[in-house]
């Protein structure tokens, strides 16, 4: 499995947690830091960010890919739309949560969210 990480670096422990939640071994982590200029439109910046993913179109459409999204909700929403266009489906995403009483703050992998499944279930509720 390939993780495309748009957030803080993932620790070895977090990668182990991911492997525990899935039947797949993490073979590659691609770290793509996210720094946006708030004085410029986000859409071109999201496209530039997605263009930095060092995977070809075929790999994006066929490999097991897990996304650790950026923290800012606007960027995440736009990035997921961009990735859906490139991949043909919504990729699964990581949900991290703070570990209670940790000092300094640390985060654990809590769940992997299957966005494509959520989309497919939501389509069943669409009015005909």
Write down the pLDDT at residue 127.
80
Could you give the CA distance from residue 84 to residue 88 in angstroms, rounded to a whole number? 5
pLDDT average per 10 residues of sequence, the chain (128 residues): 97 97 96 96 98 98 98 96 98 96 93 97 88
Residues 72-93 as b or e (16 or more Cβ within 10 Å = b): eeebbebbbebbeeebeebbbb
The residue segments making up the domain with residue 9 are 2-123
The answer to whether residue 86 sits within a structural domain is: yes
The answer to whether residue 89 sits within a structural domain is: yes
The answer to whether residue 128 sits within a structural domain is: no
Total tally of structural domains belonging to the chain: 1
pTM here is 0.94
The answer to whether residue 68 sits within a structural domain is: yes
Write down the pLDDT at residue 37.
97
Write down the pLDDT at residue 128.
67
Could you give the CA distance from residue 111 to residue 117 in angstroms, rounded to a whole number? 14
The answer to whether residue 17 sits within a structural domain is: yes
């Amino acid at each position: 499995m390939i993780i495309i990480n748009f957030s803080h670096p993932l620790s070895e422990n977090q990668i182990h947690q991911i492997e525990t939640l899935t039947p797949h071994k993490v073979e590659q982590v691609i770290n793509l830091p996210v720094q946006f200029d708030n004085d410029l439109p986000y859409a071109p910046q999201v496209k530039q960010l997605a263009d930095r993913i060092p995977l070809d179109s075929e790999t994006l459409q066929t490999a097991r890919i897990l996304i650790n999204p950026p923290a800012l909700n606007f960027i995440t929403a736009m990035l997921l739309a961009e990735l859906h266009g490139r991949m043909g489906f919504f990729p699964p995403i990581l949900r991290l949560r703070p570990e209670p009483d940790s000092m300094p703050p640390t985060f654990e992998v809590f769940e992997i969210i299957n966005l494509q499944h959520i989309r497919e279930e939501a389509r069943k509720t669409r009015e005909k």
